[in-house]
């Protein structure tokens, strides 16, 4: 016995859905769906059960439900009356599809308000039940922590490199904390999520996680106990990682020094903190599945794509997110704001004056510095200097090949020499006897280190006219670097930049405006001074004091 | 928290706070007074030292930013104080009051490393952040050129 075999009525071709009737129509459809699912289930078990279902569950319950729905339907009809025959006909059509004639009855009456409330309550209940069924994941049985010797040393070594490529330690270590013991605060628009302890401590870490549980977390975003993980853990990327690599990662984390470090409570507010609701996010935005090679591309390209889209989750920072915090697939690598810095676009929309070719990408990802693009800074520094440090050249090269293809740099290399020449022609601006106070400020604060004589810029003298910090539509990165400087481990090897937090907001703003005006052909940044003040506010108190 | 780095060839651990200026550690804690305090905001160059061999303003570089780095001050530029720049400085009697000179020499050393044969423009630009209130700029420029010549000769004949 199946539902949904009613005869369509009405001859309308242009259904016109409006507010309440749309909601109620959908509700009716939902009830029909659940009813079908229940009967299907019974049908699969035995014909006898199906009969029982129809008799004991079906007749009384479904009959009542149908009555209510039908009453509601009539109510809607009365509401729609006078709005034209099309609406009326559409209602009939929908209703006929959902409920069989034999369940329809117009005999059972309730007060209108009560009918609506009851109807909605039933719909909500059934919806919640269905959602819970979808969202439910079983716990995976805890195991006794495996001994270190049970893992193949080669697998552990491979896992160590992969853990670097995935930056596990960057997010799973609080500042000054024990590696991988968690507690790092990831600020999201919904609240702060604290990373968890992934050392093999049995009580507070992954000690009791089997390989199956670890793999499920990586591929499906589900914790060992069956609860859904927040997508602050980028399982939407890790789902692409091969089983083999997940196994190596497991071997690596399970052989680290166990650290007792209980998870810190997140500040995600109710009701967003209800983990079962993450199923909704997953239905909307998450597609599970390993990386599928693109047959039109080379093996190297595919290796780069596998790393970048999977474990290294480049899109996690460089792809803008929608209101629900999911990466916007249509704007992959279009650039985004992350941790108060701008992660520039990795497509041909990247604003660096010189295109990111394979060799420039390789140099930057390998050493954190190139002569034509400058140094790594901000949240990108640990990516290069902590994460990718152990990754072999071949893999870095593969990632470079992948991104050099995405940004079509090969089409733009012809202009490089001219661009560099033009940039170098501006390098000495401000060194003469100019009476431009902005130029004087630049000469005193910046020029000694940033001046390039040519014919090519020196990597140790980052050429500002070639730096995307000056050409981005927003001055955030430039202000960040000026205020914070660059530590010895952040940029290129052996290079530091002092922090200019001692300058006033006005002076920092003037420097930025001056550089934008003289070193680029882009329009001036608006509201520089407030921008500087806002960024200064995010810094630690010691860094925010202005000079004498 | 202690921060360790190398200064003039020896390893030191300093108690100076991580976000306090490197200059504080160099002068007050380590006790090397050759490096001077000028403006304190990175606009005069008097505090210039080398971090991993490159001129850096120590008054605005946080101690934490140089953990593990190799610092050289004017005292350590040459083991016997006879760096070609120092020799040229004495020969041409560059200093007047002398306060900015350690910073000038440290900055010039990096300039010569990058550009062994600097033009006037190169010197003007690369030394633009090192102010001298006695206006010894012309003698500084001459001394840099003299030192550059000698370093080039040394390299050519060495």
pLDDT, one tens digit per residue, over A104-127 is: 444 445 667 788 888 899 999 998
B66 has a chain A CB within 8 A of its CB: yes
Instruction: Measure the CA–CA gap between A332 and A320, rounded to whole angstroms.
Output: 7
Interface contact B66-A447, CB threshold 8 A: no
B57 has a chain A CB within 8 A of its CB: yes
pLDDT in tens, chain A (548 residues): 333 333 333 333 334 444 555 555 556 555 655 665 666 666 667 777 666 666 555 454 555 555 555 666 666 566 656 555 565 565 555 555 555 444 444 444 566 778 888 889 999 999 889 888 889 999 999 999 999 999 999 999 999 999 999 999 999 999 989 999 999 999 999 999 999 999 999 999 999 999 999 999 999 999 999 999 999 999 999 999 999 999 999 999 999 999 999 999 999 999 999 999 999 999 999 999 999 999 999 999 999 999 999 999 999 999 999 999 999 999 999 999 998 999 999 999 999 999 999 999 999 999 999 999 999 999 999 999 999 999 999 999 999 999 999 999 999 999 999 999 999 999 999 988 878 999 999 999 999 999 999 999 999 999 999 999 999 999 999 999 999 999 999 999 999 999 999 999 999 999 999 999 999 999 999 999 999 999 999 886 554 444 43
Residue to mutate among A176, A444, A452, with most B CBs inside 10 A, is A444
CB-CB neighbours of A332 under 10 Å: 16
Orientation of helix A505-519 relative to helix A528-537, angle to 10°: 130
ipTM of the complex: 0.96
Residues in chain B within 8 Å Cβ distance of A488: 51-52, 65-69
Provide the pairing of β-strand B3-7 with B70-72. parallel
CA–CA min distance B138, chain A (Å): 14
CA–CA min distance A308, chain B (Å): 29
Interface contact A498-B64, CB threshold 8 A: no
CA–CA min distance A151, chain B (Å): 34
B84 has a chain A CB within 8 A of its CB: no
Tokens 């369940």 identify what position?
Answer: A103
Interface contact A445-B129, CB threshold 8 A: yes
Tokens 């490393």 identify what position?
Answer: B113
Percent of chain B residues topping a pLDDT of 90: 96
B112 has a chain A CB within 8 A of its CB: no
Residue B84 pLDDT > 70: yes
Interface contact B65-A488, CB threshold 8 A: yes
Interface contact A453-B53, CB threshold 8 A: no
DSSP secondary structure, A261-316, as one string? -PPPPP-PPTTTT-GGGHHHHHHHH---------TTS-HHHHHHHHIIIIIT-THH
* pLDDT reported for residue B41: 95
Mean pLDDT to the nearest integer, B23-27 = 98
* pLDDT reported for residue B29: 97
Interface contact A494-B39, CB threshold 8 A: no
Closest by Cβ to B128, choosing from A448, A499, A548: A448
Residues in chain B within 8 Å Cβ distance of A492: none
Instruction: Measure the CA–CA gap between B59 and B38, rounded to whole angstroms.
Output: 8
CB-CB neighbours of A232 under 10 Å: 20
CA–CA min distance B59, chain A (Å): 8
* pLDDT reported for residue A115: 80
User: In A178-292, which ranges are E strands?
Assistant: 185-188, 191-194
State the Cα angle at A298 between A292 and A304, rounded to 5°. Answer: 65
Interface contact B20-A461, CB threshold 8 A: no
Q: Are B103 and B63 in contact (CB under 8 A)?
A: no
Please tell me whether residue A51 adopts helix, strand or coil conformation. helix
Interface contact B56-A498, CB threshold 8 A: yes
Q: What is the CA radius of gyration of chain B?
A: 15
Interface contact B126-A447, CB threshold 8 A: yes
CB-CB neighbours of B142 under 10 Å: 16
Interface contact A449-B62, CB threshold 8 A: no
Q: How many CB pairs under 8 A join A and B?
A: 126
Tokens 């660096």 identify what position?
Answer: A352
* pLDDT reported for residue A28: 57
Percent of chain B residues topping a pLDDT of 70: 99
Interface contact A494-B60, CB threshold 8 A: no
Nearest Cα to B24, choosing from B54, B43, B3, B52?
B3
Interface contact A427-B125, CB threshold 8 A: yes
B3 has a chain A CB within 8 A of its CB: no
Q: Are A441 and B128 in contact (CB under 8 A)?
A: no
* pLDDT reported for residue A11: 38
- List pLDDT tens digits, range B96-133: 999 999 999 999 999 999 999 999 999 999 999 999 99
Interface contact B61-A447, CB threshold 8 A: no
Backbone CA torsion sign across A147, A148, A153, A156: positive
B37 has a chain A CB within 8 A of its CB: no
Instruction: Measure the CA–CA gap between A172 and A180, rounded to whole angstroms.
Output: 5
Interface contact B56-A496, CB threshold 8 A: yes
Residue B41's closest chain A neighbor by CA?
A502
B49 has a chain A CB within 8 A of its CB: no
Instruction: Measure the CA–CA gap between A451 and A14, rounded to whole angstroms.
Output: 69
Cα separation values, A315 from A308, A344, A351, B115, Å: 8, 11, 18, 41
* pLDDT reported for residue B1: 79
CA–CA min distance A442, chain B (Å): 9
State the Cα angle at B75 between B69 and B79, rounded to 5°. Answer: 95
Nearest Cα to A313, choosing from A294, A295, A296, A336?
A336
* pLDDT reported for residue A15: 40
* pLDDT reported for residue A3: 37
């Amino acid at each position: 016995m199946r539902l949904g075999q009613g005869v369509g009525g009405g001859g309308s071709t242009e259904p016109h859905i409006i507010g309440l009737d749309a909601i109620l129509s959908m509700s009716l459809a939902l009830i029909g769906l659940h009813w079908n699912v229940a009967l299907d289930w019974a049908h699969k078990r035995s014909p006898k059960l199906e009969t029982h279902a129809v008799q004991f569950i079906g007749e009384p319950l479904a009959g009542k439900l149908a009555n209510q729905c039908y009453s509601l339907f009539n109510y809607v009809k009365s509401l729609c009356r006078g709005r034209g025959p099309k609406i009326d006909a559409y209602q009939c059509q929908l209703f006929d599809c959902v409920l069989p004639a034999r369940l329809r009855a117009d005999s059972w009456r309730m007060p209108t308000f009560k009918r609506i409330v009851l109807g909605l309550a039933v719909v909500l209940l059934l919806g919640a039940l269905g959602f819970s069924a979808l969202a439910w994941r079983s716990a995976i049985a805890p195991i006794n922590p495996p001994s270190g010797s049970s893992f193949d040393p080669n697998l552990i070594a491979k896992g160590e490199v992969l853990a670097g490529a995935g930056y596990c330690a960057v997010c799973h270590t609080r500042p000054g904390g024990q590696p991988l013991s968690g507690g790092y605060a990831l600020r999201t628009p919904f609240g702060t999520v604290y990373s968890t302890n992934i050392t093999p401590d049995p009580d507070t870490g992954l000690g009791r996680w089997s390989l199956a549980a670890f793999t499920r977390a990586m591929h499906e975003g589900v914790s060992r106990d069956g609860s859904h993980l927040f997508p602050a853990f980028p399982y939407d990327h890790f789902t692409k990682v091969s089983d083999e690599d997940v196994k190596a990662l497991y071997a690596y984390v399970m052989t680290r020094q166990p650290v007792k470090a209980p998870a810190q409570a997140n500040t995600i507010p109710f009701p967003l903190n209800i983990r079962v609701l993450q199923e909704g996010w997953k239905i909307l935005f998450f597609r599970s599945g390993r990386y599928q090679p693109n047959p039109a591309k080379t093996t190297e390209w595919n290796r780069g794509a596998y790393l970048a889209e999977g474990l290294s989750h480049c899109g996690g920072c460089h792809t803008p997110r929608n209101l629900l915090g999911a990466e916007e697939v249509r704007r992959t690598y279009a650039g985004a704001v992350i941790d108060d810095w701008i992660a520039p676009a990795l497509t041909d929309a990247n604003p660096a004056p010189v295109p990111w070719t394979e060799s420039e990408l390789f140099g930057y990802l390998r050493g954190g510095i190139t002569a034509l693009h400058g140094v790594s800074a901000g949240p990108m520094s640990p990516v290069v200097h902590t994460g990718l440090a152990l990754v072999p050249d071949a893999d870095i090269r593969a990632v470079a090949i992948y991104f050099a293809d995405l940004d079509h740099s090969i089409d733009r290399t012809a202009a490089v020499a001219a661009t560099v020449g033009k940039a170098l022609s501006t390098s000495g601006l401000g060194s003469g006897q100019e009476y431009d106070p902005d130029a004087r400020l630049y000469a005193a604060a910046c020029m000694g280190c940033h001046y390039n004589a040519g014919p090519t810029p020196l990597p140790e003298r980052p050429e500002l006219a070639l730096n995307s910090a000056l050409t981005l539509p927003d001055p955030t990165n430039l202000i960040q670097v000026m205020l914070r400087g660059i530590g010895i481990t952040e940029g290129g090897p052996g290079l530091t930049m002092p922090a200019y937090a001692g300058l006033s907001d006005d002076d920092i703003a003037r420097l930025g405006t001056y550089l934008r005006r003289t070193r680029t052909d882009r329009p001036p940044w608006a509201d520089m001074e407030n921008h500087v003040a806002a960024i200064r506010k995010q810094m630690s108190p010691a860094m925010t004091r202005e000079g004498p | 928290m202690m921060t360790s780095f190398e200064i003039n060839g020896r390893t030191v651990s300093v108690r100076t706070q991580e976000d306090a200026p490197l200059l504080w550690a160099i002068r007050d804690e380590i006790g090397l007074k050759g490096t001077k305090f000028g403006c304190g905001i990175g606009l005069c160059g008097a505090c210039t030292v080398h971090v991993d061999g490159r001129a850096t303003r120590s008054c605005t570089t946080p101690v934490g930013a140089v953990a593990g780095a190799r610092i050289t001050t004017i005292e350590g530029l040459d083991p016997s104080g006879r760096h070609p720049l120092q020799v040229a400085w004495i020969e041409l009697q560059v200093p007047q009051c002398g306060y900015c000179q350690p910073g000038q020499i440290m900055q010039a050393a990096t300039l010569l490393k990058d550009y062994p044969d600097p033009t006037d423009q190169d010197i003007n630009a690369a030394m633009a952040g090192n102010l001298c209130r006695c206006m010894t700029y012309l003698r500084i420029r001459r001394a840099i050129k003299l030192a550059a010549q000698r370093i080039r000769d040394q390299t050519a004949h060495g």
